Amino acid sequence: MSGPLVLGIDIGTSGARAVLMTPDVAIVASGAAKMADFSADHRDPEGWRGAVDAALRQALSAVDDRSRIRALAIDGTSGTMLPVSEAGAPLGPAMMYNDPVDDAAILAAIAAHAPKESAAHGATSGLAKVITYQAIPGVFRIIHQADWLSGHFTGRYDTSDENNALKTGYDPVARRWPDWIAATGARAELLPRVLPAGSPVATITPDAAARYGLPADLVVVAGTTDGCASFLATGADRPGDGVSALGTTLTVKMLSDTPLFAPEYGLYSHRIGDVWLAGGASNTGGVVLAAHFTSEEIALLSQEIDPETVTGLDYYPLVKDGERFPINDPAMKPRMSPRPDSDAEFLKAIFEGIAGVERLAYQRLAGLGSPALRSVRTVGGGAKNAAWSAIRQRALAVPFEPVLSEEAAAGTARLALAGAKAAGVIR
């Protein structure tokens, strides 16, 4: 094989993955490593670094001529923060994306000054973690997981991207750290500079280039969060493109030409270039199916389902009271009766109900200002069920497009490709 390549690296909750991609977005090599092989503590940054190093070396082992690799980008878990020295040394354990800050005064200060649409609200926000860390002696910056890992390739530990910075209070519309952050008591000088996702940051350091046998002029590109990377990996790239994740819960995301902010639904927008990625998560999904059927039963019963007919049962499938999106009602009751005598008909009614919630979710996004849904790509275990897919396609009435990849690292590689083109190292 010949021609230029780019690298995308994903660091998730349990491990790291790396992919090598061509300019026509074909994946030619990949690597993976578990964090637990390098540290028993998932908050230990050295565990992150070890997993990234191993995954990267595995992917690179498939390339004879590494001078072809022109750019790399890294994504990380959104809201995972780390205090560092100027040389990048961690000054304490990381606070992960789901680690809450329990200091009521910090949370009250953010609540008092952050606009209601800001993603900095809540106990797990990046900004709350910044305020928690800022009194550490010698702290140079408080940065995100992806920022720290990128710093191993640039030598800079003062740079982030617009997606990771969102939960830390960054304003993606004005494209700056807002003035209200200082009013919360946060030391604004400890925040990283922020670049658009996919923009060139710096060339690789000589040490990093020598460590991996990479070219001295390789461009390191501003990355993103793991959630945004997973969306980009699917191939969705135009306003109106939606991605439905049919996992334990149902999550819908869409590219929009305008930003959407609706805190009552837990909805905010990530900026990717000149478009916006918005989405929400329902409490329906695979968790409801698992409450009534085994995976083997679902597979067998699905063969008995005729997706061209309807049950007329109008379910809203939930396992307990409460819904987040597309209806915000913590007291909402499940609607799953009457139950047909036939298990296949019951399963079909649940499929129809989840498809109805999915349709309502995209309608909610449109009602908040997104473009009309133009296509859907599907990821997660439910994507493999043909009967469910046919029911969903009838409900949504838009083309279902193939997914290029479900690897978040592939989405990050697409950002690396954009950065390589912006820097002129790939034409």
- For the domain made up of 236-396, the CATH class stated in words is alpha beta
| Superfamily covering domain 5-229+408-423 | ATPase, nucleotide binding domain (3.30.420.40)
**CA separation for the pair 127, 112 (Å, rounded):** 13
The amino acid occupying position 66 is R
Domain ranges of the chain: 5-229+408-423, 236-396
The yes-or-no answer to whether 5-229+408-423 and 236-396 have a common fold is yes
Per-residue pLDDT of the chain (427 residues; tens, 9 = 90+): 589 999 999 999 899 999 999 999 999 999 999 999 999 999 999 999 999 999 999 999 999 999 999 999 999 999 999 999 999 999 999 999 999 999 999 999 999 999 999 999 999 999 999 999 999 999 999 999 999 999 999 999 999 999 999 999 999 999 999 999 999 999 999 999 999 999 999 999 999 999 999 999 999 999 999 999 999 999 999 999 999 999 999 999 999 999 999 999 989 999 998 999 999 999 999 999 999 999 999 999 999 999 999 999 999 999 999 999 999 999 999 999 999 999 999 999 999 999 999 999 999 999 999 999 999 999 999 999 999 999 999 999 999 999 999 999 999 999 999 999 999 999 8
Using alpha carbons, select from 257, 256, 255, 281 the residue that is nearest to residue 267: 281
* Nearest partner of 28 among 348, 410, 308, 421, judged by Cα: 410
